[in-house]
Structures are given as structure tokens and as C-alpha cells.
Copies of this chain bind each other. A is one copy, B any other.
Amino acid sequence: MNIAIAQSGGPTCAINSSLVGVFKQGLLTEEIDAIFGSINGIEGIINDELLNLKTIIKTNEDMELLRQTPSTMLGSCRYKLPDYETEPAVYEKILHTLTVHRIEIFVYIGGNDSMDTVVKLSAYLKNINSDIKVIGVPKTIDNDLPVTDHTPGFGSAAKYVAATAQEIIRDSSVYSIPSVTIIEIMGRHAGWLTASTCVLRANGEEAPHLIYLPESDFSSEQFIEDVRKEMAKHKAVIVAISEGISLSEENSAEFQSGAVDNFGHKYLSGVGKYLERLVADRIGCKVRSIELNVMQRCSSHICSKTDIDEAERIGRRALSAALDGNTGQMMYFRRISEMPYAVTIEMTDASNVANLEKMFPKEWISPEQNQVTDAAISYFLPLIQGEVNIMMKNGLPVHFQRPLQMR
């Protein structure tokens, strides 16, 4: 029999490691012949655009390189599978591709949208009495999937963000005048990644002095007051803020009405720039905002070994679960011990995850709504441990290069 793998949603540092996990387990499984990679997520299955991965990943070194290469080697998509009732033709196309290539297992690596695909596709296949199995492998830097203790990709993003925040702290405190530095971190609905900057406290840093999440109650007035309080204590105040904090209706209107540029476009700055101007206007001190941008999800050169290793393990276990006859399931991590840190890999019905979000716990947010508690540090720390031995050439990390037809 043959199998197929696809990657979906936003890139992370770990999604290729999960691909390697499925691939390695496939190599070790005698009954598996071809291992196909679907180009651009489920779209490759719909359009019959498959790669024979054994002709692309040829050596152990290739596998190690791919583990260290950020983003999705197979491309990605934001395609949401329609309901069978509304568009049966799409399902028939999928079935055709799977059947023609004798694919009996399809592993989908992605976030909660992709788990929706796992739910719908596995239900359809069961319904037509097909034996083809569909299994989901989680990934997202947002760490916002239910059921699982954490998501592959998150630990590497958290490690990059914390290490970078620490460097920004050093950079911000060189001059003698008071200053405010605002670090804007990804997370439209869930504040996990922003909250994870608290790990710096384990290394004796006092900053970030203020941490704001989408889950905190936020008002610009309170923010200015918080900043003033911290400025009385620290020369260089550091603020970590989620891109998705909820501005009050009033602030939100002010934020969104914004300016219109020469092209007539709305001035779509992030919340960091908005608060930077607010501080400049209300406090009048030196202020800078820094957006960590896509570097948060692709900085493999400082990935977490725990994350990359776990991502591979969960990929391997996904294939085993499918071989055992499971379908419509998502693999997940259960933390069975905090000290020493240990997880088991389990599975749950993908419908328990599809289209759902897990928020940062309210009880880990300080009563003042501007910090997180020490319990959060214990949760985050194990996820950023360990360094991958990055392969270097000419002083730069080496990346796995996609096959020509993918460029």
C-alpha cells in the first residue's frame, strides 16, 4: 500500500520535522511502498499533484536537514473543505486521487482548520465504506489547540521570542534617558506566545515588566497608567503585547479609523505602533515598538530541540495509529509529569479539536491583568529546552532545498 502526507496552515519550525516522522515510520513499515507528498496541502490531493518523497528525501542527512528547515517543504494552503452536501465533486476528486495511487493512509499536519478536513474527509470515507484512514498531526505556533498539552511548533517560536526579547532588553537599556519598548508578538486570539516571554524570569530578568494578552482585560487608559508605574521603577520599561489584545470599543474605533495614506489605503499598523504613538503622545518619553513578524514562526536557527524531537515523534505515532486502523483522529501530547518533564502521545477524535481554540488560562493572568503568574513559567520552560545541532555551511544554516518542480 501507499500513503500520502500533506502540510497545511501557517508555517512553523517543526512542521517539516513531523513530515520526517511520518516518512521515517513509513520507511520502517514493510507493507508501505510509495510515500507521497501532496503539494499545497489538501489541494494537492484534489488536483492530483503528488511527489514521490523517496525520490526527494534520499539520505539520513536529507532527513536531518529537513528537520532543521523551517516552513513547509510541501507548500501549504488555507483551503477549507466544503461540506459533502454542497460540493460532492471535491470529495470524488479526492477519492479518485487516493484510489488511483493506492493511497490507504492520509496524514494531515496542520491546525484546527486542517482538523476540520480530517473530520469531514474521514466521515465521508467511512460513509462510503472505504478503508482509507485519515489522521491529523497538530501544529501551530499559537499553541491554541484544545485537548493537547501544547502544539508542535510552539516551543521553537517561544524560544525565539524569549531569546530575542532578552536581547532587546539589553539593547534598550544602553542610554541614560528613560524609555519604553513595546514588543508585538503573534497571537490573534490566544496569548500563549506573548505570555511565554515570562520564562525570562527563570534566568533572573525582571523584564518584560508588562505582559498583555488577548485574554486580559485591556484599556488604553490602564495601559498608560501601568507604564507610568513601571517607569517609576525601571529606566527602560519593556512591554510584551499580543497583536490580538482587545481594545475597548472607543480605543478600537480610534485605532481602526486611523489615517489614510497617499494611495487611499487605510493605515493598517499593528497594535504595537498604535500604543507607541499613544505613549509618545501621553507620556512623551522615548518609545519604540518592535514587531517580531514572521521571524517568530521561521527562526529555525534557534529552534527548541524538545519541540523538533516531539514533532518527529508525533508524526511517527500518527502513522502507527493509522496502521492500527484508526481514522478521524488527531494525535496529541499529554503531560504526565512536570519535573522531570514527560509526555505521552495519545489520540482524540479530531472533532474535539476542529475549529476550536484553547485560550490562555485566566487563572495564570495576574489580578492587574498585566502579567502572568509563576505557574505559567513551569508550564512553558520544558517546551523551549535543548538546542538542535544546526548544520552550517559558509557561516549560515543549511536548508533542505525543495525539488525543482516546487520552486
Footprint of B on A, CB under 8 Å? 11, 40, 43, 69-72, 75-78, 159, 162-164, 166-168, 170-176, 199-200, 202-204, 234-235, 254, 257-263, 265, 267, 269, 277-278, 280-281, 288, 290-291, 293-295, 297-302, 304, 381, 384-387, 392-399, 401, 407
- Please tell me which one of the listed residues B69, B199, B301 contacts residue A394 in the complex, with CB atoms under 8 A apart: B199
The contact of A407 among B235, B298, B396, by CB within 8 Å, is: B235
Cβ A281 vs Cβ B295 within 8 A: no
- Kindly report which residue of chain B lies nearest to residue A384, judged by CB atoms: B395
Cβ-closest chain B residue relative to A267: B259
Across the A-B interface, give the 10 residue pairs with the lowest CB-CB distance, nearest first: A259-B259, A71-B170, A384-B395, A171-B298, A76-B174, A167-B298, A385-B395, A263-B281, A202-B394, A259-B261
Count of this chain's copies in the oligomeric assembly: 2
Would you give the shortest CB distance from A282 to chain B, in whole angstroms?
9
Which of B163, B202, B277, B280 interacts with A301 by CB under 8 Å?
B163
A266 → B minimal CB distance (Å): 9
Q: How far is the CB of A300 from chain B (nearest CB, A)?
A: 6
* A385: B residues at CB distance < 8 A: 394-395
**Does A159 contact B395, Cβ atoms closer than 8 Å?**
yes
Q: What 9 new A-B contacts, CB under 8 Å, besides A171-B294, A263-B281, A387-B392?
A: A71-B170, A76-B175, A162-B396, A163-B397, A167-B300, A202-B394, A203-B398, A258-B262, A259-B260
Within the assembled complex, what's the spacing in Å between the Cα atoms of A170 and B303? 15
Query: In the complex, what distance in Å separates the CA atom of A341 from the CA atom of B47?
Result: 52
A390–chain B nearest beta-carbon distance, Å: 8
Give Cα A278 to B262, complex, Å.
10
Contact between chains at B262 and A254 (CB < 8 Å): yes
- Across the interface, A298 reaches (CB within 8 A) one of B168, B200, B203, B235, namely B168
Indicate if the CB atoms of A204 and B302 lie closer than 8 Å.
no
A163: B residues at CB distance < 8 A: 301, 396-397
CA distance A139 to B345 in the complex (A): 50
Partner of A170, one of B172, B290, B293, B298: B298
User: Which of A77, A171, A259 neighbours the largest number of chain B CB atoms within 10 Å of its CB?
Assistant: A171
CB of A263 to closest CB in B, whole Å: 4
Select one of B71, B277, B386 contacting A261, CB under 8 A. B277
Contact partner of A263 (CB less than 8 A), chosen from B77, B280, B396, is B280
Is the Cβ of B294 less than 8 Å from the Cβ of A176? no
Which among A167, A265, A291, A393 has the greatest number of chain B C-beta atoms within 10 A? A167
